[in-house]
Amino acid sequence: GAGVSQSPSNKVTEKGKDVELRCDPISGHTALYWYRQSLGQGLEFLIYFQGNSAPDKSGLPSDRFSAERTGGSVSTLTIQRTQQEDSAVYLCASSLGSTGGEQFFGPGTRLTVL
């Protein structure tokens, strides 16, 4: 596709359930980022993938959060045993991989935990 896509666009779940959020980056982009955006807050870094290198997981808020990137392309962010404070918009971005490169964002997944 022409841009970064994310699915689902909206997800409503019950507290304690697991959720999976998907990101399809722009073809050829080696760098992939996950961010969380809560209402009125700036983007919060979660995890960064670059090529085949080990991901930078330093932004993950707890061990309930994990992410993987298969074949250097599609990425899945998994939140286990969701809590109400996990409610937010989860944004994925990809870039060509240079440290100064523009990040292209997907439309985000709005997660609501009841």
Partner 1 sequence: KNQVEQSPQSLIILEGKNCTLQCNYTVSPFSNLRWYKQDTGRGPVSLTIMTFSENTKSNGRYTATLDADTKQSSLHITASQLSDSASYICVVRASGGSYIPTFGRGTSLIVHP
C-alpha Rg value of the chain to the nearest Å: 13
Question: With the C-alpha atoms ordered 37, 38, 42, 47, is the resulting torsion angle positive or negative?
Answer: negative
Q: How many residues bind partner 1 (CB under 8 A)?
A: 22
Our finding on whether 56 is near partner 1 (CB under 8 A) is: yes
Facing residues of 5 across strands? 24
Residue with Cβ nearer partner 1 (27 or 99): 99
Q: How far is the CB of 101 from partner 1 (least distance, A)?
A: 9
- Select the span of 13-21, 60-68, 70-78, 91-99 touching partner 1 (CB under 8 A): 91-99
Q: Which residue has the tokens 């392309």?
A: 73
Question: How far apart (Å, rounded) are the C-alpha atoms in residues 42 and 22?
Answer: 21
Distance from chain centroid for Cα 47 = 7
Binds partner 1 by CB under 8 A, chosen from 24, 30, 48, 113: 48
Which stretches of the chain bind partner 1, using CB under 8 A?
Answer: 4, 31, 33, 40-43, 45, 48, 50, 56, 59, 91, 93, 99-100, 102-103, 105-108
